[in-house]
Amino acid sequence: MSGKLRIGVLASGSGSNFQSIIDNIKSGSLNAEVAVLITDKPDAGAIDRAKNHGIEHLLLKYSDFKDRDSYFTRAATELKDRKVELVILAGFMRVVSRTLINEYPNRIMNIHPALLPSFPGLHGQSQALEYGVKLAGCTVHFVDEGMDTGPIIIQAAVPAYHDDTEDSLSARILKQEHRIFPLAIRLFSEGRLTVIGRKVFIRGEKADGELINPSA
C-alpha cells in the first residue's frame, strides 16, 4: 500500500461534500485517494467533479437491480475490486443494506445535516426550523442498518436564527459539513477511531479537543 487510504464515494446529488474531500486530498491535509465514485443517478453533479479530477465514475442505476440487497451486493463487489477501505456516503439518497454493511463494518461514513439523534431522515434542516431550535448542525457517523442511527464520530453546531430559511440554514450547516467530513476521514486514515458499542473512541481526543470539536 502507498499509505494512502483508498476511499469509495457514493453520491446522488451535486457532490459538494465529495468536492471538499477532493480539495482536502489536493491540499495534502488528507492522505487518501478516491478510488471510485458510484452514483445512482446519471445526472448527478458529482459525476462532473469526478471527471474534472480524473476519478473513475460508475453509474449503478437502482432500476437495473431487482432489490436493495442485490444493488448493494453489486456496489460492495465494485468497491472491493478497487480495494476500497472506507466508503463515504456524500449525499447518497438510499438507505444502505446489510449486504454492504457486512462487507464494510464501521467502515462506511455518512454525514447528516442535523445534530443527531435530533431530526434524522430527510430534510433535517427544515425539521430543525419547524421545531424552532436555536442550535442546528451536522453529524458524521458510521452507518448501521438504521436511519441515521450509527455511532457518531464528529458533530458541529451552528446557530439557527428566527428568520432563517431552509436555504440560509442549509448553507450555514454545509460549511461545517465541508469541514468535519474530511476531518473524520483523516482521523480514520490515521487509525485513531475505535468503535465500542455505540461509542466512537478517538485517540488523542482530549489533547486535540480543539481540532475534534472546534465549534464547541
Binding site for its own copies (CB under 8 A): 115-119, 130-135, 137, 139, 151-159, 161-163, 197-202, 205-206, 209, 212-213, 215-216
Among residues 154, 50, 150, which one has the least CA distance to residue 108?
150
Q: Which is nearer to its own copies, 55 or 101 (CB)?
A: 101
Shortest reach from residue 203's CB to its own copies, in Å: 10
Nearest approach, Cβ of residue 20 and its own copies (Å): 19
C-alpha neighbours within 13 Å on the C-beta side of residue 179: 18
Catalytic site residue from 112, 123, 141, 178: 112
Q: For its own copies, which is the closer residue by CB, 96 or 115?
A: 115
Is 112 noted as a catalytic residue in this protein?
yes
Instruction: Tell me the closest approach of the beta carbon of residue 162 to its own copies, in angstroms.
Output: 4
Task: Find out whether 99 and 76 touch, Cβ atoms under 8 Å.
Answer: yes
Which of residues 62 and 161 has its CB atom nearest to its own copies in the complex?
161
Using alpha carbons, select from 133, 66, 135, 76 the residue that is nearest to residue 100. 76
* Cβ neighbours of 172 (radius 10 Å): 18
**With contact defined as beta carbons under 8 Å apart, do 85 and 1 qualify?**
no
Catalytic residue annotation: 112
